[in-house]
Amino acid sequence: MIKSLLDLKMDMMTGACRSVLPSGYWHHPEDSVDSPCHMTFDDGPFPETTPKLLQILNEHNVKATFFFTGSNVEQFPELVKMTREHGHQIGNHTYKHLPPLFIPKGLFEKEVDATSLLIKNACGEAPTVFRPPYGLIDFDKASTLTERALTCVYWGPVAEDWNDVGVSEVVRRIVRQTRSGSVIVLHESRRNSRQCLKSTEEILKWSVAKGLKFDHIRPEKTRPTFKSDLTQPA
Ligand SMILES: [Zn+2]
């Protein structure tokens, strides 16, 4: 398959980041072809997307991971409870979605702790996984996560779906990059709720037809990042 310039840019960025960021959870190409994929949704919860996503995931019998922001958890705690009751994993995505690279460590710690507490109060369980807003984190902030037994989860197939790129383009980008063990990243958004829901539906239909399996993220599978781990999307 000939890659477009955009596809090439995304693959190169992922490869470059993967070789310099602190240890965390990525797709590991040496895992078996039966390794489960991980469906992840960032930035929620929102009334426009979360309940419908739960319904779509349920129809396909897929358990996903939702990285919620503390400010949204505070606004919609019942959606957090509902998500957990449906058997999905809930992760910490900071309180205000500030970029970890550019804020002081003390503020980062407050963002993480406030969010973990809000999630625990909403659903009874504190999160064990964390995704940095904008994907990047430095070693100093990563130590904050380690101290709190939070595993940093990076990204696999992405579609820049935080922009209004259209359902068919989101699906094309994700499908192009996805294989066994992929960490698929989609975004909940009030503005682009239709794109989020329709794309999820299409991606799950394709995945099921392809025989891919899905599971929660298991932090114990985290390994140091090596250059040899660089993804070569099919
Ligand atoms: Zn985000």
Q: How many structural domains does the chain have?
A: 1
DSSP SS3 for 80:
helix
Which has the closest alpha carbon to 153: 50, 107, 83, 222? Answer: 222
> Of residues 27, 38, 42, 161, which has the active-site annotation?
42
- Asked if residue 31 is part of any domain, the answer here is no
Which residues, 6 or more positions from 46, have their beta carbon under 8 angstroms from its beta carbon?
72, 76, 79, 188, 189, 190, 193
What element of type H or E holds 186? strand 183-187
- Asked if residue 158 is part of any domain, the answer here is yes
pLDDT of residue 42: 98
How far does the centroid of ligand 1 lie from the alpha carbon of residue 191, in Å? 14
How far does the centroid of ligand 1 lie from the alpha carbon of residue 104, in Å? 19
- Asked if residue 127 is part of any domain, the answer here is yes
> Of residues 27, 38, 93, 187, which has the active-site annotation?
187
Residue 119 sits in a domain of what CATH number? 3.20.20.370
Q: Is 97 a catalytic residue?
A: no
How far does the centroid of ligand 1 lie from the alpha carbon of residue 1, in Å? 30
Q: What are the C-alpha distances in Å from 225 to residues 21, 87, 198, 206, 230? A: 8, 29, 33, 29, 9
How far does the centroid of ligand 1 lie from the alpha carbon of residue 200, in Å? 17
Q: What are the C-alpha distances in Å from 137 to residues 107, 109, 126, 166, 200? A: 14, 13, 21, 29, 27
How far does the centroid of ligand 1 lie from the alpha carbon of residue 93, in Å? 7
β-strands 89-92, 65-68 pairing: parallel
- Asked if residue 16 is part of any domain, the answer here is no
pLDDT of residue 231: 43
- Asked if residue 136 is part of any domain, the answer here is yes
Q: Is 187 a catalytic residue?
A: yes
CA dist 10 and 1 (Å) reads: 16
- Asked if residue 167 is part of any domain, the answer here is yes
How far does the centroid of ligand 1 lie from the alpha carbon of residue 34, in Å? 29
pLDDT tens for the 234 residues of the chain, in order: 456 777 777 778 777 888 889 989 987 655 567 789 999 999 999 999 999 999 999 999 999 999 999 999 999 999 999 999 999 999 999 999 999 999 999 999 999 999 999 999 999 999 999 999 999 999 999 999 999 999 999 999 999 999 999 999 999 999 999 999 899 999 999 999 999 999 999 999 999 999 999 999 987 765 544 434 444 333
CA dist 211 and 196 (Å) reads: 22
State the residue range of the domain holding 144.
Answer: 37-210
β-strands 129-130, 151-152 pairing: parallel
CA dist 96 and 93 (Å) reads: 9
- Asked if residue 225 is part of any domain, the answer here is no
pLDDT of residue 131: 98
The secondary structure of the chain in percent helix, strand, coil, rounded to multiples of 5, reads 45, 10, 40
